[in-house]
Chain A
């Protein structure tokens, strides 16, 4: 299988501090990939490399190559707005816009110039259904997204990403601010969409990584220590550092 995302020798510096020390990591198309590691290991930084979110941080320099579906993400020709349509992102804190649920989900589509009401309606319903929040909000799509619970807000944010039909979904600790029931709903939802998207999730919750991901990559101090199928990484890690971290001996 050809890899859908490949990153080669990625170094990233915050000023003089090297946060990523030459990461070589690839992801096949479709499926769930977990990035794990202690705080400050570089996993979130790496995630943001994939859709150029680090561009917004001053004093960041980066070398190496990132290709998604054959396209050089860091080429000067690459338009970051287009890129982020293909590579959507969900954050730790649910961040709905202070608009209605409907307007949240259609936001990206309207920016893309789509005005067809019927198409917008279809996309809203399909995205909210995929994000497993439709049944809870369908009766009043025009109420403010801010009036929803944290777990519902997060699923609406995921629907907002799904509405623009990305190839890749990046999630940065998407359930760490949620209760176990809401987290479970999001995990179940990710499992139902994993056949259609390449999903990369940063999580501090090792059980979450082992429950839902197909592949896991373990980062430590800016380095990729080990990456592979989740079941072998959690049962029989090849590196002692991995064994120590997932067994809670440090971190």
Chain B
């Protein structure tokens, strides 16, 4: 009986990590699409979101099934609760990646500000790095790494502040920047939310390890 549960937990663990890598790749592609005005790549991110949503539904259904049939307790139950909750966080990150890609599509015909776009690129790469690390922390069940990743979310907030400031300044100086400036702020806000959801995942990794539900960041 125990063997079945262990196999099912292992499968869910791998499926969750796979979903994490897919979402990370969505962020990476959305960043590239935004920076290079690559319409095809942006569309790919948008189309692929359906696949990410389906992975979340699959994980939720499977986790609920294991709970009902195997009635796990203690650390096994905490692993399942984490998968249930953190898969929703991953799904939301996927949605924000789509929003970044869409902002990139809208901005294509507008007047650009290369300096701000570079900062957005850096911010997005930072969020991508956070997600990759948090998936690593999940796979290795590394509570300390999870906490470090949550701390590094401060940098995302700083990026947002900087981008808002620069965008407002550009918009004040040149009214032709208003459309693109607004999109820069929208994109940066979406990336900032990605950092928050990565922090949520970090909190669930701490829960798996300790049974304590805490607020990081």
Contact = CB atoms under 8 A, between A and B. Distances in A.
Interface of A: 206-207, 210, 232, 234-237, 242-243, 246-249
Contacts of B210: 236
B1 interface: yes
B74 A242 contact: yes
Given A248-B1, A248-B2, A235 B211 contact: yes
A145 to B, nearest CB: 35
Contacts, number: 32
Given A235-B211, A236-B211, A247 B75 contact: yes
B71 A235 contact: no
A72 B2 CA distance: 44
A212 to B, nearest CB: 15
Interface of B: 1-2, 5, 71-78, 210-212
A234 B74 contact: yes
Contacts of A234: 73-74
A249 B73 CA distance: 12
B71 to A, nearest CB: 6
A236 B74 contact: yes
10 contacts: A206-B73, A232-B211, A235-B77, A236-B74, A236-B210, A242-B74, A246-B73, A246-B74, A247-B73, A247-B74
Contacts of B1: 248
Given A236-B74, A236-B210, A248-B1, 16 more contacts: A210-B73, A232-B211, A234-B73, A234-B74, A235-B73, A235-B77, A236-B78, A237-B74, A242-B74, A246-B74, A247-B2, A247-B73, A247-B74, A247-B76, A248-B5, A249-B2
Contacts of A237: 74
A235 B2 contact: no
Contacts of B2: 247-249
Contacts of A246: 73-74
Given A248-B1, A248-B2, A243 B75 contact: yes
Nearest to B2: A248
Nearest to A250: B2
The 6 closest A-B CB pairs, nearest first, are A236-B211, A243-B74, A234-B73, A248-B2, A246-B73, A247-B76
